[in-house]
Amino acid sequence: MTMVDRDTRCIVSWRVVWERTGEVAQTMVDTSTPAALYFSDAFPSWEAVLYLQGEHFTVVDKSQTYSVEGDNAELRHYLARLARKSRCFSRCLAALQRAVKLFVYAWNARQLYKQHFPNYPAHVKDFAYP
């Protein structure tokens, strides 16, 4: 599960879990940077969340969730273990969490770099831990 800031396209909260539950979604909202607006798909976990700040809107299409959908596609592209319809999916949750943590670090660093230097090329691998 991921939460994305639409302005910077940075991943502000993520969790690697076996099932998407309301408790996990609540933890993500509580630990992320507060936002004025929250958009989510029609998955029931997001309806159970208490949003202390900002307003929550459920949309059935991708008109407002395109940022998180795009970042999830990038995550599946760069991490083979998350590719759909493959046998690469990691059964070890801790290993998958470490891989996603590294990706989120590099992805967010790249997104912030691209905001400051839009004319210079930047690849995610260039922002991984040294």
Say if CB 127 and CB 110 are below 8 A apart. yes
Q: Give CA–CA dist 37/29, Å, rounded.
A: 12
Q: Give CA–CA dist 15/113, Å, rounded.
A: 24
What is the separation of C-alpha 1 from the centre of its chain, rounded to a whole number of angstroms? 6
Mean pLDDT of 92-118: 91
Range of the domain at 22: 2-127
126 pLDDT above the threshold of 60:
yes
With CA atoms as reference, report the closest residue to 107 among 89, 91, 123: 123
Count: domains in the chain: 1
Burial of residue 4 (CB within 10 Å: 0-12, 13-18, 19+) is buried
In this prediction, residue 95 carries a pLDDT of 85
> The tokens 């302005």 sit on which residue?
7
- Which tens digits make up the pLDDT trace of 31-78? 998 889 999 988 888 888 988 888 999 998 888 888 898 998 888 888
Q: Give CA–CA dist 94/80, Å, rounded.
A: 16
